[in-house]
Structure 1
């Protein structure tokens, strides 16, 4: 009887306690903020509870997997994702000018979400197979494996998801041993590009100027970032109102459910991409610091899991998941604060969204699985 109970316990209690505690605290903060954002009456609060339950179930299921099973699933999941992205191009469903969804009859899916997990798994599997014999061509192949889904997602267009997929894949490539000397020219080009944009802002943002490589709405996002007052009631409204909400919170905040910008409906998308503005207005700078500390601890725990991972595949995968969490946090808070362009990137475990939470749950489950099969470092 004792042996049976031990076996059951080993299957049920598969969570890393510290990681689960951090996720639980973030979920509590997220649900409390959601309650304030919807005014306590909207059905979205109940829907978010359901989303968290689904994410928790997904995390538990994935945490059961062994590293060997994850490696066997890596390339089939990646291939499936690429096929689905290709089908989106051919027969995708268009909403609000973007073709990102695939209607399967019984449900509608967004294949790009799958690639947030599939791309790092595939690249981690590839570098694991090439361990001990890495050459420059291996990094070129990895770059191609990343470029295919990235370009397909950019074409939809979905810049936010494409950014997260790129971050996940690039993290694997970098952790696999990509030389910093190869990154320096890219960083230099980025710095020069930002300088040119700032220098020729008026010319670039002229309505007659064609950016060629960007869609019109993406051009507006960049120009709005540079000067949101050029269109205060249109493209710049999100940035202006979220900045006012964050600033008006001061050091200690206005108190729970007492934020004027959010409660009076000035903050747009306050349950999704701009939920941090609601939180910062009510909890102030100190509350923001507490939230950032929780996120920092989450990132450190993820990197700790990577450090004790049993092999190259799990080490690269855990490191990539940790960096994806970082990009989620950095981009969302940056755009809400007005220092980055507005893109569709939710705040982890805070923003409303079933698909995003499911993806985050699966990512957390992968960390749990890797932690279960860790090695002991002295």
Structure 2
């Protein structure tokens, strides 16, 4: 086979690439429909961003382990400074201050913090002596690394992104081997803090999202409109859907944000249960490949880094799918590789690029060991 297929091509992670490309192309088809049967503005920019960012992700495989380890804390500090800059000179849109206008580029630093917090914590626990894993030195510095960006993102306000940063960080702490008793205690404390946070920490519109999630029919034309219309679109698709470009909920502007947060509902109306299964299969294949990269990694830093990137992508997909089906509050998290949005695509391609990078470290290490023998 190697005589037929060039070695660099044969070594590509085809187990991930096939479902990734299939999911992205399917997303472009859904965005074509959401755009009223036109490639512009959604489908064309979606494919262009994917192409550019995939080249960036592939280029990440050229980074060696020592360089990545060295850049962990500087990258964290740099993104934290960008979050501070958002608070002072950030652009305001939709009632939130989340973006930086850097010439023609509109950057959302909170998105960059999702993979960067994983990188910083993987570096921290990789250098922490094993004997300290059960002590406060394993907990307090990591809690500070997670807490600072979460507070800055909550101030924007952006609850969904703050939760994503926290989720990625907690997964790394769990995989690093911190005592289970600490997580149990944190769970109990969280259960106590939830009602207090609802009453005193959440803004009125965020409180409405929670109450709407619990009872969307209480205000179907107001705060419950998003979830109600999403459920109608998904349910009306039935087993095989209404047909490509035949969705009434999105085309008649009943479904809000049909090209971003609720793109899955747009898809389900036209492609039905079968389309939903295809999307879930693609995500499962990509995430399973990512877990295999983490399992096969040779060093502790590699394993933590890879597993954290898988957790970040999983959070994106799981929360969005639960949100559009009414199983979670609407928190504004797009669906990876299907929703229209440059920041989401950038974050998830960084995660995939990191996984490809860790995979290249493992394969080069195994090749070196074979050559040595």
Q: TM-score, normalised by structure 1?
A: 0.88
Task: Label 1:161 to 1:259 Cα distance change in 2 as closer, same or farther (>3 A).
Answer: same
Aligned residue for 1:74? Answer: 72
Confirm whether residue 232 of structure 1 aligns to residue 220 of structure 2: yes
CA displacement at 1:262 relative to structure 2 = 2.1
Aligned residue for 2:301? Answer: 313
Aligned residue for 1:111? Answer: 109
Task: Label 1:310 to 1:124 Cα distance change in 2 as closer, same or farther (>3 A).
Answer: same
Alpha-carbon separation, structure 2, partners of 1:245 and 1:189: 38
Secondary structure of 2:92's aligned partner: strand
Confirm whether residue 218 of structure 1 aligns to residue 195 of structure 2: no
Alpha-carbon separation, structure 2, partners of 1:78 and 1:123: 10
Secondary structure of 1:211's aligned partner: helix
Aligned residue for 1:356? Answer: 344
Q: Give ranges in structure 2 of 5+ residues lacking alignment.
A: 1-5
Secondary structure of 1:373's aligned partner: helix
Aligned residue for 1:3? Answer: none
Aligned residue for 1:38? Answer: 35
Confirm whether residue 16 of structure 1 aligns to residue 13 of structure 2: yes
Confirm whether residue 277 of structure 1 aligns to residue 265 of structure 2: yes
Given that 1:88 and 1:101 are in contact with CA atoms closer than 8 Å, whether structure 2 keeps it comes out as yes
Given that 1:175 and 1:316 are in contact with CA atoms closer than 8 Å, whether structure 2 keeps it comes out as yes
Deviations 1:143-201 (A, max 9, x none): 1111111111111111111111111111111110122222223334555677x79xxxx
Task: Label 1:187 to 1:45 Cα distance change in 2 as closer, same or farther (>3 A).
Answer: same
Deviates further, 33-42 or 122-131 = 33-42
Given that 1:15 and 1:60 are in contact with CA atoms closer than 8 Å, whether structure 2 keeps it comes out as no
Task: Label 1:13 to 1:162 Cα distance change in 2 as closer, same or farther (>3 A).
Answer: farther
Task: Label 1:14 to 1:61 Cα distance change in 2 as closer, same or farther (>3 A).
Answer: farther
Confirm whether residue 161 of structure 1 aligns to residue 161 of structure 2: yes
Secondary structure of 1:100's aligned partner: strand
Task: Label 1:248 to 1:108 Cα distance change in 2 as closer, same or farther (>3 A).
Answer: closer
Deviations 1:10-69 (A, max 9, x none): 5x8874221222211111211111112212224222111211112212211212212222
Aligned residue for 1:183? Answer: 183
Task: Label 1:153 to 1:65 Cα distance change in 2 as closer, same or farther (>3 A).
Answer: same
Alpha-carbon separation, structure 2, partners of 1:108 and 1:36: 26
Alpha-carbon separation, structure 1, partners of 2:251 and 2:43: 15
Given that 2:138 and 2:178 are in contact with CA atoms closer than 8 Å, whether structure 1 keeps it comes out as no
Task: Label 1:255 to 1:108 Cα distance change in 2 as closer, same or farther (>3 A).
Answer: closer
Aligned residue for 1:303? Answer: 291
Alpha-carbon separation, structure 2, partners of 1:192 and 1:91: 36
Q: TM-score, normalised by structure 2?
A: 0.89
Alpha-carbon separation, structure 1, partners of 2:101 and 2:260: 23
Secondary structure of 2:233's aligned partner: helix
Alignment of 1:53-68 (within 5 A): 53-68=51-66
Report runs of 4+ in structure 1 exceeding 6 Å deviation: none
Confirm whether residue 138 of structure 1 aligns to residue 152 of structure 2: no
Alpha-carbon separation, structure 2, partners of 1:291 and 1:131: 42
Q: Give ranges in structure 1 of 5+ residues lacking alignment.
A: 1-5, 198-203, 205-209
Aligned residue for 1:263? Answer: 251
CA displacement at 1:273 relative to structure 2 = 0.5
Alpha-carbon separation, structure 1, partners of 2:317 and 2:105: 29
Confirm whether residue 340 of structure 1 aligns to residue 340 of structure 2: no
CA displacement at 1:91 relative to structure 2 = 2.6
Given that 2:122 and 2:172 are in contact with CA atoms closer than 8 Å, whether structure 1 keeps it comes out as yes
Aligned residue for 1:207? Answer: none
